[in-house]
Amino acid sequence: MVSPQEVGRASECSCGCSRAGCCSIPGFALVYDRMRLWPGHLDRRNGRWLKRWIVLEVPSWIASGQPTPDNYTLFQGFEWNVPADQKHWKRLVAEVPKLKAVGVDNIWLPPGCKAASPEGNGYDIYDLYDLGEFDQKGQRSTKWGSKEDLLELCKVAKENGIGLFWDAVLNHKAGADKTEKCRVVEVDNNDRTKDASEPYEIEGWLGFEFPGRGDKYSSQKYHWEHFSGTDYNQANEKKAVYKILGDNKGWSSSVDSEGGNADYMMFADIDYSHPEVQADVKNWGVWITKELGLKGFRLDAVQHFSERFTNEWVDNLRDECGRDIFIVGEFWSGDARLMCDWLDNMDHKFSLYDSPLLNNFSQLSKTPDADLRKVFDKTLVSMNPVSAVTVVTNHDTQPGQTVETPVEGFFKPLAYSLILLRKEGYPCPFYGDLYGLKGEHAADPSCGGKLADLVLARKLYAYGSQEDYLDDANCIGFVRRGTWDKKAGLACVMSNKGPGEIKMAVGEMHAGEKWTDILGWEQGEVEIDQDGYGLFKCPGTSVAVWVRADAEGRDRFPTNFDADIYSKA
């Protein structure tokens, strides 16, 4: 490759620009020759413009000659109603090779620390350091399985090149071992900054001794002074929001303003102004990362605990375990601007789940003849795509949950196509959409069983420049034109009304190729004309993803993904 310095010294190049040498950059001649074929083609006089276009617009892979980086997909590896049979880690062990084969690179695991209840999902967190190793809270294993099973999952994931992200619940603790007396003041449940009583003494569940674990991994015990609030007075059995009083006590000032001050959410609220708490939770982050070989974290309820401490926790973790540790926070809001402001305050050390996009999916799916062109309006992925983790459903928004956000079944393949096949955002498909849901709202896998095919299409074909076709409110499309080493590209067209079709340009480099729908929902083939255009169709209220019929990897479609996970363990 020609270095920038060599470019400056080179003699006149073939495009005729005054700063010669650009045509020796890998890929330049191909791009230049293609552009010469366009109407009003470039000549030597505007070669300078073309060089500027390549330097500014062509991705770094073409300038460097380096392979195009693979697309990554994060998979949420659980749903709320997974059976409490302590076999989930074992089931995931069996699924890891299959998930890798369809293009999953990282799995978001549930919060597998010991919960207050044997059937608790882990958001009712009791002991951060008990991963199913100690006999506490009624059993040794967690709902998800034993620590031995978890370590086996970590081993198999590493062997298959899949990273594991841990769901860290750092806001509170639950299931205390004993009550302790402390002075409190009740606060207004709608405005936590307003006192609703005079100070008085309560008997709160605030003593955490961890008798089954003892001092292994950490000798820190938790008492009333390590918390800022609680919600139950054992002395009179009264439920309320109690702010704990004492030296240097009070709600954190670096939290969201929901309810006046969002510090208190539930259970015994951890006080991150206490130095012993800070040290213990920082130690835990490093310990569990090394213990399990983690590659990232999902931080639960980040707007409810100290931003200052969260920044310190992330810095300490990355200093000790590597700068590439991925962190995504749960900041559930309908206001993408508020989320962007939070990211600014956190120096963009995080990603966030794009809840405004999920809200758009839900609203569009329930509105007859909705305008699909508005799908990305006021979303995090449109404002800050690098920091957006995109979802269609998760454990909090699935049917029956507190923030249930229903997306109609017909719309899910459209929504997944929009998060998986476009260049913006980091997509996170949901366990319940791939394997189905259990419990009162049991459901079969979504997307007609084709979610795995869409994930694989992302891995194989969703590369290169992107162009949107948004002329029709009820039928939209986009193309990805491929890169120098991932050449296939794709064309995606979708409708929320009747059958649709859009003439789209996939590029002259694809002229003469025959493309078919990898999902098999739209029959026939499209032949790309000499100008690089094709007329791409989709069925009514559906989506089609078109790729060259003989593209590398086409023999892997349909994936016929086996979603019967519960027979594996």
Those residues with Cβ within 8 angstroms of residue 46's Cβ, 6 or more apart along the chain or in another chain: none
CB 544 within 8 A of CB 562: no
CB 466 within 8 A of CB 422: yes
Measured from the Cβ of residue 191, the count of other Cβ atoms closer than 10 Å reads: 11
Helix (H, G, I), strand (E, B) or coil at 455: helix
Those residues with Cβ within 8 angstroms of residue 259's Cβ, 6 or more apart along the chain or in another chain: 189, 190, 191, 192
Catalytic residue among 133, 256, 269, 300: 300
**E strands, 208-341, where?**
227-233, 238-244, 268-270, 296-299, 326-329
Helix (H, G, I), strand (E, B) or coil at 441: coil
Local structure of residue 390 (DSSP, 8 states): E
What is the token pair recorded at 195? 């006192």
How far apart, in whole angstroms, are the C-alpha atoms of residue 372 and residue 472? 8
Catalytic residue among 105, 133, 330, 433: 330
The β-bridge relationship of strands 542-548 and 514-517 is antiparallel
What is the token pair recorded at 295? 């590659």
Q: Which of 336-340's residues contact partners 24+ apart within 8 Å by CB, and which partners?
A: 336/378, 336/379, 336/380, 336/382, 336/383, 336/384, 337/378, 337/383, 339/380, 339/384, 340/380, 340/383, 340/384
User: Is residue 300 flagged as an active site residue?
Assistant: yes
Q: CA nearest 297: which of 464, 167, 453, 169?
A: 167
User: Is residue 330 flagged as an active site residue?
Assistant: yes
What is the token pair recorded at 123? 């958001």
Question: Could you give the residue numbers annotated as active site?
Answer: 300, 330
